[in-house]
Homo-oligomer: A and B are copies of this chain.
Amino acid sequence: MIPRPTITQLAAQLGVSPSTVSRAFTRPDLLRTDTVDRVLAAAQAVGYVPNNHARALSTGKAGAIGLIVPDIANPFFPPLIRAAQNHATAAGLAVFLADSDENPDREERLIIAMAPQVEGLLVVSSRLPSSRLRDLSGRYRLALVNRDVGGTFRVLLDATSAIHAALSHLAGLGHTRIAYVGGPERSWSNRQRRAAVEKRSRELGLHFMSYSAGPGTYEAAKALSRTVVGNGATAVIAFDDVLAHGLMGGFAEEKVDVPGDVSIIGCDDALATTTFPPLSTISFRVDEAAAEAVHALTAHSSPGTLPATRVAFEGSLVLRGTTSTPRRD
């Protein structure tokens, strides 16, 4: 690790001014092409890499965005992180990642600490109260994902219509008693999904039951499985695939057959076909959502805070192997 060469050294070595070297990287169109080539070749030779901090200081642009998720271990987030990463890289930006550990205080501290150092912050599935988010959104460049707060820039994965389709499908199969098994109470998605299931159940004249798998873990859902079938539900919609999977784990232990005895539909399509039977679920175009959010952050048309825009992507129902006609007793 020899101290790395600076633009000045490279310039001296080439007999040009530092500005020329700088421009060879940032505004090559201003230089003669052979000058550019010469500089680039020399840079390559001595292993020159521009110092990002100096650049950021000079331009006022950070060259990075931040990404905050509540729990990186939840399989829903990694694909989103990867997508954000790819789009950021394409825009020439690096990504700072932070995990709020489902803790609102920690999340807020992270936002305050990171926001000044980056172009903007992608806040995914925030657990903060709406008022705080609105406030923070007024002070920093935030793009919310999966959280609908008026007055902020937000991109939403909207399960409503897919849930309607799911319930129509279940009703069509003959199910009449539907359970919703919810996740983290601070999650906007959870509230939205529960409301959608309830509303649509009423519309279709189905009996609706609501449960909550507190922390939203596999184990919590598994522990709930007995209760859910005990109360007579023949179909359950879970907040996400992790909970759906937990329920399946519980049912397997109790010899409750899926989909024979009970149908299950998850959400997020985070598990692909890794369950047995393969889980029916609601799938989102996560990559596009991430692209939208990153793009908003990097579009410097707005020098200040982001416009209060609401972008929604609808999910789609994908039926695999966990839904069928209810067993007639």
A binding-site residues for B, Cβ under 8 Å: 1, 4, 49, 51-54, 56-57, 62, 64, 72-73, 75, 78-79, 81-82, 85, 94-99, 112-114, 116-117, 139-141, 218-219, 245-246, 248-249, 252-253, 272-276, 303-305
Contacts and interface: CB of A to CB of B under 8 A. Distances in A.
22 contacts: A1-B139, A1-B305, A4-B116, A49-B112, A52-B53, A53-B54, A53-B57, A53-B62, A53-B117, A73-B82, A81-B99, A85-B97, A94-B114, A94-B117, A95-B97, A96-B96, A218-B273, A219-B273, A245-B274, A246-B274, A249-B273, A249-B274
B218 A304 contact: no
A51 B249 contact: no
A272 B303 CA distance: 46
Contacts of A82: 72-73, 99
A230 B81 CA distance: 40
A66 to B, nearest CB: 9
Given A94-B117, A95-B97, 6 more contacts: A1-B305, A49-B112, A52-B117, A94-B98, A249-B273, A249-B275
B51 A116 contact: yes
A95 B98 contact: yes
A303 to B, nearest CB: 8
Contacts of A249: 273-276
Contacts of A51: 57, 116-117
B72 A78 contact: yes
A252 B274 CA distance: 11
Contact of A73 (B4, B78, B94, B219): B78
Contact of A56 (B53, B248, B304): B53
Contacts of A54: 53, 57
Nearest to A219: B273
Contact of A96 (B75, B81, B95, B116): B95
Nearest to A278: B249
A96 B85 CA distance: 11
A4 to B, nearest CB: 6
A73 to B, nearest CB: 4
Given A95-B97, A97-B97, A117-B53, A276 B253 contact: yes
Given A72-B81, A85-B97, A85-B98, A116 B57 contact: no
Contacts of A139: 1
Given A51-B116, A98-B95, A274 B78 contact: no
Leading 6 A-B pairs by shortest Cβ distance: A53-B56, A252-B276, A97-B97, A73-B78, A1-B304, A53-B53
Nearest to A73: B78
A1 B97 contact: no
Nearest to A270: B73
A177 B305 CA distance: 64
A304 B2 CA distance: 8
A312 to B, nearest CB: 25
